[in-house]
Structure formats: C-alpha cells, structure tokens
Amino acid sequence: MTIAERYSDVDDEYEGAAVLVTADRRIDVHVHLSGHFEPIDGRYHWAGRVAPHPDVAALARGGRRAVTVQIGQSPEAPARIAEVDPWGGVRLTGVSRPPWEGPDIGGPGREPAASTSDIAIVGAGFAGLGAAIQLKRAGYHDLVIVEQATEIGGTWRDNSYPGCACDVPSHVYSYSFALNPDWTNTFSGQAEIWDYLRRCAQREGLGPHLRLGCRFEGARWDETEQRWRITTSAGEHVARVLILATGPLSVPSVPDIPGLESFAGTVVHSARWRHDHDLTGRRVAVVGTGASAIQIVPSIQPLVAHLSLFQRTPAWIMPKRTRPITRFERALFRHVPGAQRVVRIGAYWLRELQAVGFLHPAVNRFGQRIALAHLRRQVPDPRLREKLTPTYVMGCKRILLSNDYLPAVAQSNVELVTEPIREVRPDGVVTADGQLHEVDTIILSTGFHVTDPPIFGVVTGRDNRTLADAWTPTMRAHRGTMVAGFPNLFVLLGPNTGLGHTSVVLMVESQLRHVRNVLDHADRRGVEALEPTPEAQRRWTELVDRRMRGTVWVSGGCASWYLDATGRNSTLWPGYATGFRLRLRRLRPQELTVPQRRRTVVPA
Ligand SMILES: Cc1cc2nc3c(=O)[nH]c(=O)nc-3n(C[C@H](O)[C@H](O)[C@H](O)COP(=O)(O)OP(=O)(O)OC[C@H]3O[C@@H](n4cnc5c(N)ncnc54)[C@H](O)[C@@H]3O)c2cc1C
C-alpha cells in the first residue's frame, strides 16, 4: 500500500478539541484543521487555526514555535505555531500523519501498513540523485528517495557559507551523463552547483520519487521476507534494495571544547550557515583552517572588525587556476557536439596525473616547492609565513587551492592563533597560554563525522548485526559498496572510495554501474537478494590495504580525518579513479552469494 493509498480514506478536515503540548505544559484548545496528501514529497501536510487563547498567543509571541498536537486518543503529532492573527488566534501547521487520524488506524492492534517500493535510496545529494537517474534509465522505476531536508542538493544545499565553491574543475565535478554547458566558472560556486542538481532532478522526472522532509531512522533486514524494513519519520517503508547515499560529509562535527555551550554570542557551523547573522563590524573567531575555512576567511575578512583564526595544523595551499568561462566557450559547449566532452577528458587526465604525488610522496616535493613559492609571494611577513608552513609531506592532508586565503590572513584585522584552544567563555575563546580572545561570533569550520556517522548504528543486517558492529574497529566494504552480512545494501561513497585528487562523482558513477550489474545479475538468476562473500570482501580489503602502504596518507607524518581511530585509512581509494572504475566495470558473480532465507515457524 502506498502512503497516498493509506491516507485516501482519512477525513481531510477536523474541527474540535485538541491539546497543544510543549516541553513544560499542556494547553487545551479548540482547532479547525484540514490537510491533504502531497504527491511531490509523498507526505501528509496539514494546517489550520487555533481559536484565540492567551497562552498560545504568548507562546507564538515568545518565539516558541515547536509544539505537538494531540487530538483525542491519537498519538501526538509534531507541529509549528505561526503568527498571531488580529483576533488572537494562531496558525498551526504540520507535516505528519493527520493528527485527527483515530487510534483505529494508527493505534495498537492495527499497525498502519507500510509503503513499499523495489528500491529505497536514502539521501538526495550527488550520489542519491545520480542513483535514481541511472536506475530509472536502466528500467528500475519503482524507487523512492528518502531525504530528511525539505529540498534536494545535499552538500550543495547545506554548505551555503560565503565563498563556497568546488575545488575540482566543474567539467569533471558533474555527472558524465548530464554535462552542463552553462558553468560560468572553471570552479563553480555553491549556488550554481545546487541549481545544476535541481535541474538534473527535474529533467529526469525525479519529483514523484522524492520523499522530502522524511528522515531515515533505521533499517532492518527481514530474513524471512528478504526485504529491508525501513523506519522513517513518515512511517514504515519496505524495500528489496536499500541504497545509502547519506554522504560522507553530511553530519557536521562540533568540537568538544569545554564551555562552548556557555558562549554568549552566536556559534555557526560552516555547514549550517546563519544568513540572518550579519558579520559586519563583528569580532569573529574561525576555528579550523581546512577546505571550508580557506573559502570563508577571504570572504568575511573585509567585513569583520577583527578575525581570530585558530589553526591547529597549517595546510599546503596551491594556486587555484580559476577563471570565468566565456560566453563563446559556453556557446561552443552547447552547440558543438563533443566539445565539452573533450575539455572534460583533458581535465580528467590532468587530475589523474596528480594522483602520482599521493601514491609516490617523493613526487609531491615538487608540488611543495610551488606551494612554498605561492606562500612567499602572498605573505611578506616571515614570522607569519613560518606559522603557515606545514611540516608534513604535501598530500597527507587535503591539498587546498586558493588565491585569496593567504593575502586575507596577512591583513591587519586578522590574527592567526596557533596556541591550542583551552576553553570557551561567554565572551570569547581562551587558548592554552591563558589568553582570552574576545569575540562575539564563533564560526566552526571543523568538518564532519566521516568514519563514525550515527547512521551506521541503525542499519541492521543478517544475524542482528549493525553496520557499526560490522565496522568496528574499521570500515570495510566489498568494492567500497557492498557489505558481507547486509544483503541488497549498497553504500555510495562507502569505505575507501574518497579521493584526494579528483571528483568523487567519478567514484559514485563507478559504484552505480556496480549496483546495476548486481541488480541485473540477481534478476537473471531469479534471486531476490545478493551479498558479497566474506572471502571476496576480505580480498578487496587486502588489496586496498596493500595499495595504501607507502602512500602519503599513511607515511606523510600527519594526523588527518582520512584515518580512523585505529590509524587505518578507511576513507580514501589508494589509487587512480581510473583503477577503481576499471575494477567495478565488470561483475564477478563468484564474489556474490544468495543469503539464506530464514523459514517462518508456524505454531501448531
Ligand atoms: C564544502 C564542500 C565542498 C566540497 N567540494 C568538493 C569538490 O570540489 N569535489 C569533490 O569531489 N567533492 C567535494 N566535496 C565532497 C562532497 O561531499 C561530495 O562531492 C558529494 O557532494 C557527496 O554527495 P553525496 O550525495 O554522497 O552526499 P551529500 O551531498 O552529503 O548528500 C547526502 C544527503 O543525504 C541526506 N541524509 C543524510 N542522513 C539522512 C537521513 N538519516 N535521512 C534522510 N536523509 C538523510 C542529507 O540531508 C543529504 O541531502 C565537498 C564537500 C563539502 C562539504
């Protein structure tokens, strides 16, 4: 039964008594609500009015907008209260099951039927959208995309900080099956990339497949039914195939700095930018000097009164060969068949060449010379230069590209702080030497939970084992995509599929070919499910670890987010993107096995 069918016999309107529940009280009110099932996001939207009530009006005026609503014996439904109207009533909205839906539908004894699809994809970023497009094109139309946000776009929706742009040329940082002749810059900005993703989704008709504002809360492999039983914020969903495309860089990491919660000013994470917080004339702390910080600092430095930049480890920074793409070039890409493909191939191989330095660190000494010359040119002060000079081999941490970061750091309103942070106080940041850096805004440019996102703990495969169990102490996946013990589960940008030198979209596309190969193979064999053999997964992991030896990531003398708690690099692919693509091109059926179906025991 689909969600639409489930709600088809529910009354669309309710007028009567209800209770608004906040953290500390229950308010009896009179409401008039109506709703409808919205096919665009596959959810039930409802709204209406609460009759004038002084306590509710006070909540709305006081900015306490999140409440839950309970009608009769129905379970509480999350809701938001909006503005107070001239007569003292307030508007109430929600996206959930209808709050007036009686317990006879949702209550004990009669579990609401789950929606179903052949394939469920979690996440609507580059990977999830790419998966949906490719699978639809291959004839797999019965799929849903579960996305917790109310808009698609992943990384490029969430990272809207000033200066946000890709650091791999746009011609390569896009789908090979949807080239974009309209890029306006060789390294496009966030808005343009986000817009590209939205246009791809629209062109490919993904709208009806999207379940926006729907959070994936967990999944369990049902060994009897050979299906994934998926729990989402919108209810149960059952699918044969589960594709996790939740992104390696999507859960912001907030550092455990003592006193951070006591800060009296505003704390912003780079991936959750506060556009309502004007930085003009403020005293700002930027914590971290990685890929996001080097884009943020030059964008805000001219605005702020003072910027304290807290650096733990300096990054190797290379010049960024960025330029606008001319109208002539764009016309060429649009009208001359193959023109953009040729430019893309050129950019692809130039990037592939750069992998040499990661695999053979001695080669990166040449790159270091270029970076040091760049630093000398841009930072005249030798003391500041010294603080900005890395002591590890280039490539061990992500190599950053920028033409304006170093000049911004050299400005008089910027202080580069290399003392470790000891604590945060209401009025600023205190470093290990006891100095208080007074600020009113803290920008955390502190990255993401890469090797330990919470989602690993809620995906349960055969034998009651979660991905977190299987990946303790380190993440391993066959061909970076499938995991032994987790039938029909595909993890996009899974273990050892990241790249330091080129676009990860190339890796996603290789994985998608593998997904299609596996599904087609299951179809041909007439089996419901497949998973990798433990032996095949072990051999793949050995290959990865063997190739990792001697690379700059494990020998370059730095600690980076590429390494997990065991010190193993479980995030990056130790080679050329081409090598990964070739390895995933063809399926080796002997590496897959059919999971045993558990028989249901019917009591006598
Ligand atoms: C600022 C920034 C710049 C980058 N620049 C580059 C670059 O130049 N080149 C490059 O190759 N890579 C770059 N990356 C890496 C980037 O993350 C990947 O290129 C790519 O965007 C990842 O796509 P994805 O679909 O796997 O993940 P994401 O884009 O992160 O999408 C994951 C989606 O899953 C959703 N989701 C997560 N959990 C749940 C849940 N429980 N329920 C429902 N939905 C959920 C999220 O809301 C999100 O929409 C950059 C990353 C950042 C942060």
Q: Quick check: CB of 190 below 6 Å from ligand 1?
A: no
Please, are residues 532 and 591 in contact by the beta-carbon 8 Å criterion?
A: yes
562 Cβ below 6 A of ligand 1: no
| 52 Cα to the center of ligand 1, angstroms | 44
**Which of 118, 112, 165, 110 is closest to 138 using CA atoms?**
118
Q: Tokens 């205190």 identify what position? A: 430
Ligand 1 site-directed mutation target among 166, 250, 458, 562, most atoms within 8 Å of CB: 250
Q: Burial, 429: exposed, middle or buried (Cβ in 10 Å; 0-12, 13-18, 19+)?
A: buried
Residue 552 pLDDT exceeds 50: yes
Q: How far apart are CA 52 and CA 86, in angstroms?
A: 10
Express each pLDDT in 489-517 by its tens digit.
999 999 999 998 999 999 999 999 999 99
Confidence of residue 92 (pLDDT cuts 50, 70, 90): confident
Task: Compute the average pLDDT of residues 587-603.
Answer: 80
Question: At which residue do the structure tokens 């600690």 appear?
Answer: 559
pLDDT level of residue 93 (50, 70, 90 thresholds): confident
170 to 271, 326, 336, 544: CA distances (angstroms): 21, 14, 19, 28
Measured in Å, residue 246 CA sits from the centre of ligand 1 at 7
So what's the pLDDT on residue 105?
33
With vertex at residue 131, the alpha carbon angle to CA 126 and CA 134, rounded to the nearest 5 degrees, is 120
What is the Cα–Cα distance from 243 to 122, expressed in whole angstroms?
A: 6
Backbone phi, then psi, for 241, in 5-degree steps? -120, 135
Nearest residue to 245 via CA among 147, 136, 141, 177:
147
Confidence label for 104 from pLDDT (cuts 50, 70 and 90):
very low
- Site to probe by mutation for ligand 1, drawn from 155, 174, 188, 455 as the one with most ligand atoms within 8 Å of Cβ, is 155
Cβ–ligand 1 distance for 249 under 6 Å, the answer: yes
Q: Produce one character per residue of 494-510: b if its CB has 16 or more CB atoms within 10 Å, e if not.
A: bbbbbbbbbbbbbbbbb
How far is Cα 234 from Cα 114, in angstroms, rounded to an integer? 10
Q: Which residue has the tokens 């590496």?
A: 591
In the chain, how long is the greatest CA-to-CA distance?
A: 86
The yes/no answer on whether domain 115-251+450-593 falls in CATH 3.40.50.10090 is no
The least confident of 96-100, 149-153, 165-169, 197-201 is: 96-100
Structure confidence at residue 108 (pLDDT): 37
pLDDT score for 107: 34
CA of 248 to the centre of ligand 1 (A): 6
In this structure, which amino acid lies at residue 376?
R
DSSP β-ladder status, 235-244 and 283-287: unpaired
State pLDDT tens for residues 211-234. Answer: 999 999 999 999 999 999 999 999
Q: What is the mean pLDDT of residues 10-14?
A: 76
Taking only the tens place, the pLDDT of each residue in 449-504 is 887 778 889 999 999 999 999 999 999 999 999 999 999 999 999 999 999 899 99
Q: Spell out where 39-181 has E strands.
A: 43-50, 66-70, 77-84, 90-95, 115-122, 143-147
Would you state the structure tokens that stand for residue 198, as one six-digit string? Answer: 């939205």
* pLDDT score of 219: 97
Q: What's residue 214's pLDDT?
A: 95
**Cα 67 to averaged position of ligand 1 atoms, centre (Å):** 30
Which pairs count as long-range contacts for 566-569, CB under 8 Å and 24+ apart, including other chains? Answer: 566/473, 566/474, 568/474, 569/496
- Give the other-Cβ count within 10 Å of 457's Cβ: 14
Q: Which of 152, 195, 155, 203 is nearest to 178 (CA)?
A: 203
Instruction: Give the up-direction half-sphere exposure of residue 64: CA atoms within 13 A in the CB hemisphere.
Output: 14
Q: Quick count: other Cβ atoms within 10 Å of Cβ 373?
A: 11
> In the predicted model, is pLDDT for residue 561 greater than 50?
yes
| Cβ neighbours around 161 below 10 Å, total | 23
Q: What is the pLDDT of residue 336?
A: 96
User: What one-character DSSP code corresponds to residue 419?
Assistant: S
With vertex at residue 264, the alpha carbon angle to CA 260 and CA 267, rounded to the nearest 5 degrees, is: 55
The helix (H) or strand (E) run that includes residue 345 is helix 339-359
Name which residue leads in pLDDT, 536 or 566. Answer: 536
For residue 189, the model assigns a pLDDT of 97
pLDDT for 109 equals: 39
- Residue 111's pLDDT is 46
CA 14 to each of CA 52, 101, 559: distance values in angstroms, whole numbers, following the listed order: 17, 9, 58
- Atom 7 of ligand 1: nearest residue by CA position: 166
Whether residue 561 has its Cβ less than 6 Å from ligand 1: no
Pocket test for ligand 1, best of 43, 190, 212, 249 (most atoms within 8 A of CB): 249
Is residue 155 lining ligand 1, measured as CB closer than 6 Å?
Answer: yes
pLDDT tens-digit series, residues 139-155 = 999 999 999 999 999 99
Q: How far is the CA of 530 from the centre of ligand 1 (A)?
A: 27
Whose CA is closest to 249, among 562, 602, 592? 562
> 23: which residues sit within 8 A by CB, 6+ positions away?
none
d(CA 527, CA 358): 42
Q: How far is the CA of 247 from the centre of ligand 1 (A)?
A: 4
Using DSSP's 3-state secondary structure scheme, residue 349 falls into helix
C-beta 125 within 6 A of ligand 1? yes
Residue nearest to atom 18 of ligand 1 (CA): 504
- Ligand 1, atom 49, lies closest to the CA of 154
Tokens matching residue 529: 């499910």
What is the share, in percent, of the chain residues with pLDDT greater than 70? Answer: 94
Average pLDDT over residues 199-217: 95
Pairing of strands 43-50, 66-70: unpaired
At 558 the pLDDT is: 87
For ligand 1, is residue 357 a contact (CB within 6 Å)? no
Contact, 69 vs 94, CB < 8 A?
yes
Same fold yes or no, 115-251+450-593 and 262-319+334-444: yes
Query: Does the C-beta of 270 come closer than 6 Å to ligand 1?
Result: no
* Domain assignments of the chain as residue spans, ordered by start: 3-95, 115-251+450-593, 262-319+334-444
Give the per-residue pLDDT at 81. Answer: 82
Output the six-digit token pair for 131: 């998966």
CATH number of this structure's domain 262-319+334-444, picked from the four choices 3.90.25.10, 3.50.50.60, 3.30.450.70, 3.90.650.10: 3.50.50.60
The per-residue pLDDT for range 319-376, each reduced to its tens digit, is 999 999 999 999 999 999 999 999 999 999 999 999 999 999 989 889 999 999 999 9
Whether the per-residue pLDDT at 62 is higher than 80: the answer is no
556 Cβ closer than 6 Å to some ligand 1 atom = no
Pick from 35-44, 113-122, 245-254, 348-357: least confident: 35-44
- Give distance in angstroms: CA of 48 to centre of ligand 1: 36
Confidence of residue 106 (pLDDT cuts 50, 70, 90): very low
Q: How does DSSP classify residue 567?
A: S
Distance of alpha carbon 551 from alpha carbon 362, whole angstroms = 10
Q: Please give the number of the atom of ligand 1 that sits closest to the Cα of 508.
A: 26
- Residue 124 CB–ligand 1 contact under 6 Å: yes
Atom 10 of ligand 1, nearest CA residue = 503
Question: Taking the alpha carbons of 57, 63, 64, 68 in that order, is the dihedral positive or negative?
Answer: positive
Q: Is the beta carbon of 166 within 6 A of some atom in ligand 1?
A: yes
**What's the whole-number mean pLDDT along residues 149-178?**
97
Report the atom number in ligand 1 closest to the C-alpha of 159.
1
Where is pLDDT greater, at 64 or 13?
Answer: 13
Mean model confidence pLDDT for the chain: 91
pLDDT of residue 1: 47
Q: Indicate if the pLDDT at residue 604 is higher than 50.
A: no
Other Cβ atoms closer than 10 A to 63: 6
Of 36-50, 155-169, 229-243, the least confident: 36-50
Alpha helices (H) in 263-338, listed in sequence order? 293-300, 327-335
Residue 73 in this model has a pLDDT that exceeds 80: no
Digit-coded pLDDT (tens) for 287-331? 999 999 999 999 999 999 999 999 999 999 999 999 999 999 999
Please answer whether residues 562 and 498 qualify as being in contact, where contact means their C-beta atoms are separated by less than 8 angstroms: yes
Determine the Cα–Cα distance for residues 102 and 100; give it in Å rounded to an integer: 6
What is residue 29's three-state secondary structure? strand
Task: Give me the residue label for tokens 């090598």.
Answer: 579
